[in-house]
Amino acid sequence: MKKQVSIFLLLAVMMAFKVSAQESNVSEKLTEVNDKVNGLLERVANDEADLQKLTKIKVSGYIQAQYQKFESPALLSTSNNYFSLRRVRVKFTYEAADGVKFVLQPDFSPGALSLKDAYVVLNDRWTKAFSFTAGKFNRPNYEVEYSSSQREMPERSAVIRALYPGERAIGAKLEFNPLNLPIHMQLALFNGADGITVNNSAGSNLNSNENKDYDNFKDVMARVTYNLTLGNFGGLDFGAHGYFGKLKSMATTSYLSDYTTVKKANIGDGIAKSWAGAEFQLFADVLGGLSVKGEYIAGKNASIGFVPPGTTLGAANFQNKFAGYYLYLIKNLGKKNQFALRYDYYDPNTDIKGKDVSISGYAATATLAKKMSGKSDLATSTVGLAYHHYFDDNIRISLAYDIVQNEKVGTAGKVVDNYTTAAGVAGTMDWSNAINQNVLTLRIQAKF
């Protein structure tokens, strides 16, 4: 009996040990599986977070490939017709959080790689009326802010290209756009010298670092627009903008554009450049769609001189009065075609007429070189014609022709340019005549 009890107890102990071992193995297996599941869940959570970040990134862009023919005699000795890539841009927009947006847009045009936009936008989460932008962005102006991928002519008007080289500037901007009022107000502060060349006596550009202001002056720019609804007819937008800035004087004398006024200046003085403009855009839902829009800008611009080094004659600052405007007529031709007409006028010096060019000027002094009125004072008018065919939502084919007319110099032979053709034949352009500067552009644009 005792033997049987002993055997039973032994079997019980063995069974209990086996069960304990099995439970231990099961527990280890469960722990292992749980760790794997937790690891998998963590990876899924990370993937979801990464996916959410990716969904906040929007990528867009466009490519403009074109053929151009320039009719200017000055290009006869070089290439006056060629294929090129005018713009190759990719825009990255990242919605980091509610009311926060980052924008980055490089341009990959061959030989001209550049950063076009790089800015952050902070939107007002409460009233939804205010936004703050900082970085490099378009200056507040209608034709500047109107995207090159949508504009009806190949390039912006002459006055805009002169006043806002490169279109963009580095600074900060506050915008007010209330939900219940059709008004839009912009106030911006910029370095002010963006895209401007300021040479010293050695001919080196003091303003070569785009990311850093070369002086302490900052420029203020403001724009306000108002939108009117004209019932079933369409809509009218109108507004105005102003620019108020200064450039640091590098000379001790300033000339004014009338070629009769000389002002003393100190190194470091602010040479004012300021102007104002008025704009309108009329959109009419007639005959398949029609729009008329234009802008007029006038004021003072400036360029900077330098102090003479040693016995070399220096250059004075120059402040010129200017005026310019453009007027568009755009007509849709069905759903796939569009016709555009633009008249574009720019006078870089309203104090000097063509008859005065090469006659009015400043005589040389002991320290300053002679400065005569010249081609840079002549006004230019351009009639632009463009026809667009929208192959689909992403492809646009454009044919444009710019007819350029220069203001004529009053006296024959006073302002001339010499050139040589590719065949070695010499020629002369006399600016007392109209010089053929027309441009033909054939462009295909692909957007994504």
What CA–CA distance (Å, rounded) separates 342 from 55? 41
- Provide the 8-state DSSP code for 154: S
Give the DSSP H/E element, type plus range, for residue 288. none
Domain containing 206 — which CATH number? 2.40.160.10
Q: Is residue 96 part of a domain?
A: yes
Q: What is the pLDDT of residue 96?
A: 85
Q: What is the pLDDT of residue 331?
A: 96
Q: List % helix, strand, coil for the chain (3-state, nearest 5).
A: 15, 50, 35
Domain that holds residue 382: 59-447
Q: Is residue 14 part of a domain?
A: no
- Single-letter amino acid code for the residue at 436: N
Under a CB-based contact definition with an 8 Å cutoff, are residues 320 and 301 in contact? yes
- Single-letter amino acid code for the residue at 116: K
Q: Domain total for the chain?
A: 1
Q: Is residue 437 part of a domain?
A: yes
Q: Is residue 432 part of a domain?
A: yes
Q: Which structure tokens are listed for 403?
A: 């007819």
Which residues partner with 295 through β-bridges? 279, 326
Q: What is the pLDDT of residue 286?
A: 86
Q: Is residue 21 part of a domain?
A: no
Q: What is the pLDDT of residue 296?
A: 98
Q: Is residue 338 part of a domain?
A: yes
Q: What is the pLDDT of residue 24?
A: 59
Backbone angles phi, psi at 90, to 5 degrees: -125, 130
Q: Is residue 16 part of a domain?
A: no
Q: What is the pLDDT of residue 57?
A: 92
pLDDT in tens, the chain (448 residues): 555 555 555 555 556 555 455 555 656 665 665 666 666 666 655 655 555 667 789 999 999 999 999 998 888 778 899 999 999 999 999 998 888 999 999 999 998 899 999 999 999 999 999 999 999 999 999 999 999 999 999 999 999 999 999 999 999 999 999 999 999 999 999 999 888 888 888 888 988 888 989 899 999 999 999 999 998 899 999 999 999 999 999 999 999 999 999 999 999 999 999 999 999 999 999 888 899 999 999 999 999 999 888 778 899 999 999 999 999 999 999 999 999 999 999 999 999 999 999 999 999 988 898 999 999 999 999 999 999 999 999 999 999 999 999 999 998 999 999 988 878 888 899 999 999 999 999 999 999 9
* Count, residues in the chain: 448
Q: Is residue 49 part of a domain?
A: no
Q: What is the pLDDT of residue 214?
A: 86
